[in-house]
Structure 1
Amino acid sequence: MSNGNEDREVILANFQAITGIDDIAIALSTLEQFNWDINNAIVATVSEDPTPSPQVSSCEVNTTFKVDWKGREYSFSLNVNDATVGTLKENLSSRVGVPKENFTIIGFPTMTVQTDHKTLQQMGVSQDCRLMMVETPNQVPNTRGQGSSSIMSSSRYRFKMSVEGLEYDLVFPANNHVRQVKSYVESTYNIPASQQRWEGWPPGTSDSLELRDLVLETPFHRLKVFRRQEAGRASVGSDDEFMDEDVLESPECSSTSAQRPLMTVGKSAEENVLQFLQVFEERYGNVHPAFHIGTLKSALTAAFNVPADLKRPLIVFLHSDKALTGHLFCSQVICSESMAGYIDQHFVMWAYDLTERRLQQQILTECQSIFGYSGRQQVEMYVPDKLPLMIVITKVQSAPQVFAVFQGDISPDLLMAQLIDAVENYNQTRSIEKAAELEQEQRSRLRELQEQEYLDSLQRDREKDEMKKIEEKEKQLQVETEEATLSSFEDLVPPEPDSNTPSSDITFKLPSGERINRKFVHRTQLKVLSYFVGSKGYPPANFKLVQNFPKRQFDEDEMYLTLDDLGLTRREILYVEERD
């Protein structure tokens, strides 16, 4: 391998001419992977171009899989041996109307670097595979106050790199890892990686990250690299290490965590969560998932003590400033717009800081009170060396339980895929709960209706009883009144005279057709006859006395005249008629 830039340009040109790869970024990436050994790179590239077996037709190897885009699933049936990632992007672009340069696809089963010319088989796509389409907008805001920052719309990044005081303009493919940049400096400028001291990398940078995963300045990003004067430990180059010593020595990270803790021992839960939110935004900016303000118990209530349609899984985010992966996980993973948006849409998130030991004990005690001793053990086994953690809690059959635990060294793509899986699993549970809740609601509504009908029936019966009692009272009063009236009329009528006393024999013809005979002495006033009729149930106020032969109707003035005065001294017939 040649160390000169001119030789590498020749190698790059020859490699593109032989392989037919027009994309400079892909060609550079491939050569970097083989340490600029053009022969091995050509062999590997040619071998990655599979040719379908002539014995098998395309329809026989078509594979059905799904791609999720903003909650909607799109099914595809493609020949995974022939179709490439680029083919899939074109199909997606035509179906959803988003230019293919504005999105990427995540969730491929293999850990192979994704390029458009890779076949779906090389990316591990198989039957019932589930992928996710994620927008990659050209401009994203810098969340750490570093000025205007963006991801380059092209596939390369430009750097103004000062190497031991000399400045160079360098360009690297977006899919190059940070360790490849350091290897380039080692091979080109003869500064061993173990002796490199860098300035200018964004906080949270590690050797295992690709350049496109970092927040870099545009149109170029400035870096400085110096040779260490004293031998230090070798730079971390393994993918197993999430942060290197440059991150641990970052003045921003160390001073921030020392001067401004995320939580303070002795404060209430609400005060500490508000402090966590404020310090978190000071460190990482305003783009982050929304943190529930309150205790863990109140977060559980917000997630699960709501109607089935509104229930969401709970994420308990446990952080520590002492954890190597904490700063990078916050800055590069959960503070991305896509991750924060997805969590806000589908989860309730509660955060807690475990930097101080007393804070650790408090959360363990609270976990034990809510989830039992087994729940405490699940959390305790990760504290403190496995932090940060994202603990996904669901609620099945009224009991909260830990669904999954994600550690801080998980990749963003894998975390997103796992969160999607958690949401899908919980949605199935929620649909069952929703059906049960609907059934319970219907039963309750029917029971309430039956109870109301019963109460209405009781009320109607009570009203009927009351009306019956009132009617009976009125009837009784009427009877008593009538009896009293009749009795009073009887008291006003003198006894019937004997046969020796001169008297008038009066026959009363009642409205009912009944005839009553009664003798009255001649000096009896006519009103006494009306009293007699009243004692028989025909009071003078409502009835009058009438003589037919001759036709004669007695008026009020005649009521005080005697029978002798009226000429009623013989046998007479008087008719009792109702007054008009």
Structure 2
Amino acid sequence: MSENKEDTLASFQNITGIDDVGEAFSHLEAADWNLMEALSRVMPHEDAPLASTVQQQPEPPATHPVESTNGFRPPGYEEMPGTSNAAAGFFHSIHNQNQNQSQNSHQPQLQQRFPTSQLLAQLTSSINLDPASSQNNNQNVIAFNIHFNQQLYQIRLPSEATVEQLKRKIFDETSVPVCRQAIRGWPPSKASDAQQLGTRICNLDLAPENELILVDLTDDGFMDTEQDEVTQRVDKTFTIDIQFESDSPLTLSLSGRTKMRELKMNVYDIKSIPVRHQEWTGWPNGCDNETTLAQSGIELSHRFAVRSTAHLAQNNTTQHNNAFEVVNVDSESSADEFEDATDFNNAEYIFTDSPPAQPLNRHLIPNNTDDETSGSTQFVENYKSRYGDPHPEFFVGSLEAARQLACLRPAKERKLLAIYLHHGKSILINVFCDQLMKHESIIQTFKEKFVLYGWDMTYESNKDMFLSSLTACISSNASLTARNIKLDKLPAIMLVGKSRQLGSNCEVLSVIHGNIGLDDLLTRLIETCEMFEEQLQVEIRQEDERAARDQVKAEQDMAYQETLQADMAKDAAKRQKEASQLAERKRLESERAEEDARRESIRLVAQQSLPQEPSEQDAGTSKIRVRKPTGDFLERRFFTSNNLQDLLNFVTANGFLIEEYKLIRSWPRRDLTAIESSQTLETLKLYPQETVILEER
């Protein structure tokens, strides 16, 4: 066994014909890099008939082999995939030995057995284990893995074969006519050349092993343009399996827009292998550091192998004994990470493009920020500056304000609260922010359905502040959920909604981790929205019913108030009328009292003014009778010398004011109140007796 793992790996692949580096790594790791033990794991067991694998194949003639009708060598020529010329010669010698033994033995040739231990010993002794010398053995053979109808067809051709010969070989395997074959997966720079049947496959910049997709054209047909394929693959998610030489494998789910330099930088962040020391196998030719996964021509699920060349950096040597051509892509690493990579710039597996500088500051919120509002403001400003347009609209303010805006609203206006958790040390940040968060559908969904709040958890101080706020605003479970999200799952999006069962409290409905594709992210957002809106329907219906009841009640209250106001107005008018009548009565009574007092006063004055009434025996007297309006009489005696005023005072003293009544003499009829009141009764001939009539004026 070679002292170097690279030599052991090359020898193992050379002997077994296993071109998949990851598979070869797994066998060697299981055998603790013991070549003999690893070979025994994949070679036949002791009771496996070795002769049966070779005795049926006729020995090819010494001259050049006759080509078949498709332009290929006969099936018996190098039919053992992956074996070197030395191994093939060894099997040929075993075949001759078995034939000689069969001639000298009565036992059938099929009964020959060859112990595995002897086979391995002769194989390892007869094959040169030097990877450098064995590399040229297979350099003229190119392997193709043809994917068609969910099946894999393996084809090996000389490098001088043409595209037409490849298609004829595909026809032999799949029965798809050449005229209906459309092949995808060529290197982007050679896609147009691959459409020409006469192009030699050695001129297409192919790797020793290539993944191609066969499409059976319909009768209507279509053009197999690589640009259309790239356009369709841009938004798809690529599953990248990376096998490391002495470390655990890694699986990444990346968007088709991911560039090769970003993939290299992700490996650097996870495995701490500097970009200048990363040696990749499995990339098609023609790729550079700006080539995206969609443009590279790899499958949606692809496997790479990566090893560190740090131990070779001083000697500037690179091993080229892997099954694929080695491609090393510069990435967005910092200047310090590339400062000692001068010797590698001349190596043919490293691209010459100078890498752009990676920002030294990965955080979006400075350490020990004062409060949530200032931290949120700095987050939004730095996010826009770092990732540019387009970008989602983040809420600026405290988490509590964002929660109130999203959750504490009527059911018809309520939204979900999406909390974007950022971490500058996560390897998924660039892909997630540069690809997924810039997609128009994602931006529009956040705008219509969510209130988006962002926070950077790179610094522990800011993380603790946010988790405390999350506990206060949402719940302790939400804080615990955010705390338990691992770095390799960040960035993450927590979707928070107000639960009808919890009253005014909120709960975490879903957590979306950053290792997700565009389609899956959009699907998760829409599914959560639909689930949330379905829960809101009950609350919306209840709010509508409550609003209808409130409206009926309001209308009833309004009608009652109108009736009450009318009644109150009537009562007020009635009270006002009664008060007015009362006041009028009081006024009349007051006036009447005043009038009575005045009349009484006049009567008393008149009564006091009356002269003494003479007796019947006195001479010169006159007896005056006054007939009242009621028909009865007033009677009094006066001296004839008394004047008319005395008679009027007599009438007034009995309650008949002269201003209201007239005193009429019956014959001749004469109004006594209209003549001079100072005349005596004698002068007026009102004696010895007279009857006068009292009439109202």
TM-score range, shorter chain: 0.5 to 0.7
Per the alignment, residue 413 of structure 2 pairs with: 310
Matched, 1:354 2:457: yes
Instruction: Using structure 2 for the length normalisation, give the TM-score.
Output: 0.46
Relative distance call for 1:308 and 1:293 in structure 2 (3 A) is same
Paired-residue identity, %:
17
Deviation at 1:393, TM superposition (A): 1.0
Contact 2:475-2:507 at 8 Å conserved across structures: no
1:216-365 aligned within 5 A = 228=344, 252-257=357-362, 261-365=364-468
Letter of the 2:420 counterpart: F
Match in the other structure for 1:485:
591
Cα 1:105–1:558 shift into 2, 3 Å: farther
Does structure 1 conserve the Cα–Cα contact (< 8 Å) formed by 2:494 and 2:508? yes
Alpha carbons of structure 1 residues 336 and 378: separation in structure 2 relative to 1, 3 Å? same
2:548 aligned residue (430, 442, 451): 442
> How much does 1:410 deviate?
0.9
Give the secondary structure class of the aligned counterpart of 1:502. Answer: strand
CA distance in 1, matches of 2:514, 2:292: 32
- Name the amino acid aligned to 1:295: S
CA shift for structure 1 position 279:
1.2
1:18 to 2:177 alignment: yes
CA deviation string 1:452-476 (max 9, x = no partner)? 5555555555555544443333333
Residue in 1 aligned with 2:581?
475
Distance 1:170-1:354 versus aligned 2 partners, 3 A rule? closer
1:2 is aligned to 142
Over alpha carbons, which structure has the higher Rg? 2
The answer on 1:197 being equivalent to 2:342 is no
Does residue 407 of the first structure (1) align with residue 519 of the second (2)? no
Q: Note the alpha carbon deviations across 1:111-144, whole angstroms, 9 max, x for none.
A: 99xxxxxxxxxxxxxxxxxxxxxxx9xxxxxxxx
1:317 touches 1:390 (CA, 8 Å); kept in 2?
yes
The code of the aligned residue for 1:2 comes to I
Equivalent position amino acid for 2:627 in 1 = D
1:288 & 1:415 partners in 2: Cα distance?
A: 16
Q: In structure 2, how many angstroms separate the alpha carbons of the residues matched to 1:506 and 1:447?
A: 74
Instruction: Render the CA deviation track for 1:97-123: whole Å, top value 9, x for unaligned.
Output: xxx99x979999x999xxxxxxxxxxx
* Number of the residue aligned with 1:433: 539
Query: In structure 2, what residue type is equivalent to 1:299?
Result: A
Q: For the residues of structure 1 that align with 2:374 and 2:623, how far apart are their CA atoms?
A: 117
Write the deviation string for residues 207-241 of structure 1: whole angstroms up to 9, x where unpaired.
Answer: xxxxxxxxxxxxxxxxxx9995899xxx9xxxxxx
Structure 1 unaligned regions, length at least 5: 50-85, 87-99, 113-135, 137-157, 164-168, 184-188, 204-224, 236-248, 508-514
Note the C-alpha offset of 1:18.
Answer: 2.7
Cα offset for 1:261?
3.7
State how far apart, in whole Å, the 2-side matches of 1:172 and 1:26 are: 10
Q: Is this contact kept in 2: 1:107–1:414, CA < 8 A?
A: no
Describe the SS at the equivalent of 2:520.
helix
Residues of 2 paired with 1:519 and 1:33: CA distance? 158
Asked whether the 8 Å contact 1:390–1:406 carries over to 2, the reply is yes
One-letter amino acid of the counterpart of residue 421, structure 1:
E
Q: Is the 8 A contact 1:394 1:403 kept in 2?
A: yes
Alignment size in residue pairs: 408
**Preserved CA contact (<8 Å) 1:197 1:226:** no
Displacement of 1:447 in angstroms is 4.1
- Verify: 1:395 aligned to 2:526, yes or no: no
Structure 1 residues 443-458: aligned runs within 5 Å: 443-453=549-559
Aligned residue number for residue 5 of structure 2? none
Aligned to 1:378, the other structure's residue is in SS state: helix
Unaligned runs of 5+ in 2: 1-140, 144-157, 195-205, 223-227, 240-255, 257-283, 306-318, 335-340, 617-621, 637-643
Alpha-carbon spacing, 1:501–1:437, altered in 2? closer, same or farther (3 Å)? farther
Relative distance call for 1:308 and 1:261 in structure 2 (3 A) is closer
> Which residue number corresponds to residue 147 of structure 1?
none
Q: Distance in 1 between matches of 2:303 and 2:575?
A: 102
Q: CA deviation at 1:341?
A: 1.6
**TM alignment of 1:8-87, pairs within 5 A:** 9-10=163-164, 14=168, 18=177, 25=184, 35-36=209-210
Instruction: Report the residue type matching 1:277 in the other structure.
Output: V
Give, in angstroms, the shift of residue 367 of structure 1.
1.8
2:100 aligns to what?
A: none
Aligned CA RMSD, in angstroms, stands at: 5.9
Cα–Cα, structure 1 residues 466 and 355, in superposed 2: closer, same or farther, change >3 Å? same
Contact kept? 1:159, 1:171, Cα under 8 Å: no
Query: Per the alignment, do residues 465 and 423 of structure 1 end up closer, same or farther by CA in structure 2, a change over 3 Å counting?
Result: same
Q: Secondary structure at the match of 2:628?
A: strand
> 2:588 is matched by which residue type in structure 1?
E
Query: In structure 1, what residue type is equivalent to 2:544?
Result: L
Superposed displacement of residue 359, structure 1: 1.4
